[in-house]
Amino acid sequence: MEVALETTKTPGEQDATRKQIRGSSLFLFGRMLSLGINFFTQVLMVRYLSTRDYGELAYGLAVVSFLRIFASLGLQDAIPRFVPIYRENREYGRMFGTILLAVGAVLVTGLLIVVVIWNAPLFLMPFITHEGLPTLAVFSILIVLVPVETADALLDGLFASLAGTRDIFFRRYLLGPGLKFGVVALLLWMKSTIIFLACGYLLAGATGVLIYGVLFINLLRKQNLLQHLRLKEIAIPARETLAFVLPGLVSTLATCIAPVHVFLLGRLRTMPEVAFYRAAVPIADLNSIVFASFTLLYTPLAARLFARLDYRGINGLYWQTAAWMSVLSFPIFAVTFSLAKPLTVLLYGARYAPAGPVLAVLSLSVYFNVILGFNLQTLKVFERLRYVIGASVTAALANLVVSAVLIKLYGTIGAGIGSAVTLIGYNLLLQVGLLPTADFHVFDRRYFWLYLTIALAACGLFFVGWLTSLSLYVLLPLAACVSLCVLALAKKKLSIAETFPELLTLPFARLLT
């Protein structure tokens, strides 16, 4: 039965899945390239700043992340959904109308937030901690990042919709990380303060957006799309777009876990505890590198298959992508989950040892999100928007209640547990929402043994690290060996040779087939 299932893939399913994985692999390479730069930058910054200074910076950036949700209005998700469909149907007036609507709305809301915060101090009250407001000068500078980062996310969606993968690669994975590293390097060299760091972050972000904008205009010219731009024919599909982005906005609020927990820690505990939690978040988020790399191309491909009513193709795309993400992310999960405490001490020093248990819990929840695949994105493509809103509101309210209690009682580790409970519960709710779909499996049994292998490998590593006194330098090679074993057992399910046929010419080709 299993063989029969695997041999009934339609040409559309095979082509879409291959295009998704190959295109996303370029993004993954870019992410891995920028990972070293970003991570090294993070370690330098955390080691240089005091726990209080880093806590204040993290608190300010959390406010930016939270306000950016409202500035974007969820339009960065609407771009990959509608632009590919309008282009496929040659509805260029509606395509450019969608782009103009998104760009205009993002600029207006982002600038409005900055102006209001600058001129109405009363709006700062919700962000005041029990230790007082983080340095006002730092906060006033960082708040300008709201429209800058929102525009950057919007441009990501535009490039993905028009298949501008090389430009995304350059801007997101080379230029952006390089600029931030330069800022932190200058911070250390000049022995400056977080004021300098905040200004540098703002300048780096604005420079990146300007370059990204120029690249986008060039992309439109290369694809001969500007010749279809006629002002009289532009139609702004406001109703369809806004109906789509509302659930996306609500779902984003539900998954906006880290900023909410930073707020709660700042209100209920201390700035050093904010620093401990925030230091663990970037390491745990490494588990989502592959997930984020695959996301940009998944929604446009799934939208095209949905336009053809090819649910079987979407199912193949969904689970094959989830399998790839699970296997490729496993080495990171093995280290950040099983070796969390020694890894944290190695990177940040002994003063950040309390962040170790938080890292383990956060890594588990992020990896759980990865192995379940793109359930949220698929529900949006299927236009089950009411269900997304209901699940998102439920998760957001549960997050506030559970996390407030746990943080009040247990501090940093309470924030970690609250994050995990919220993210895992939210993903299960979304997976249930995919049940009533013909030719789509909420769990594809072809991948049962793959997921069982991953679970056993992760548990084995965890207990070895917990029950023995082996050093990190022994456990790291062990984790690498286990990861290779997982890849070896999963290679047939991943269809590596079909996805990357050029690998068959390499000397080790037999190991991949």
pLDDT (tens digit per residue) in 458-512: 888 888 877 777 778 888 899 889 888 888 887 777 765 555 444 444 444 454 5
pLDDT digits (tens, 9 = 90+) for 295-350: 767 877 888 888 788 888 888 888 888 888 899 899 999 999 988 888 898 888 88
**For residue 255, what are its two tokens?**
């998954």
Dump pLDDT digits (tens) for 368-386. 999 998 888 888 888 887 8
* pLDDT confidence of residue 502: 43
Quickly state the pLDDT bin for 202 (edges 50, 70, 90): very high
Residue 49 sits at φ, ψ, to 5 deg, of -80, 150
The answer to whether the beta carbons of residues 368 and 423 sit under 8 Å apart is yes
Residues 416, 365: Cα–Cα separation, whole Å: 9
DSSP 3-state of 53: helix
Amino acid at 374: F
* Res 26 pLDDT > 60: no
For residues 57 and 43, give the distance between their C-alpha atoms in angstroms, rounded to a whole number. 14
CA–CA gap between residue 481 and residue 166 (Å, rounded): 33
With a cut of 70, say whether residue 154 has pLDDT above it. yes
- Is the pTM above the cut of 0.85? no
8 Å CB contact between 454 and 333: no
Measured CA to CA, the distance from residue 39 to residue 176 in angstroms comes to 13
Q: How confident is the model at residue 164 (pLDDT cuts 50, 70, 90)?
A: low
254 vs 317: which has the higher pLDDT: 317
How is residue 252 written in tokens? 């984003």
- Identify the residue whose tokens are 């192995």: 371
Backbone angles phi, psi at 129, to 5 degrees: -85, 170
Nearest to 135 by CA among 66, 203, 50, 68: 50
pLDDT tens digits for 478-487? 988 988 888 8
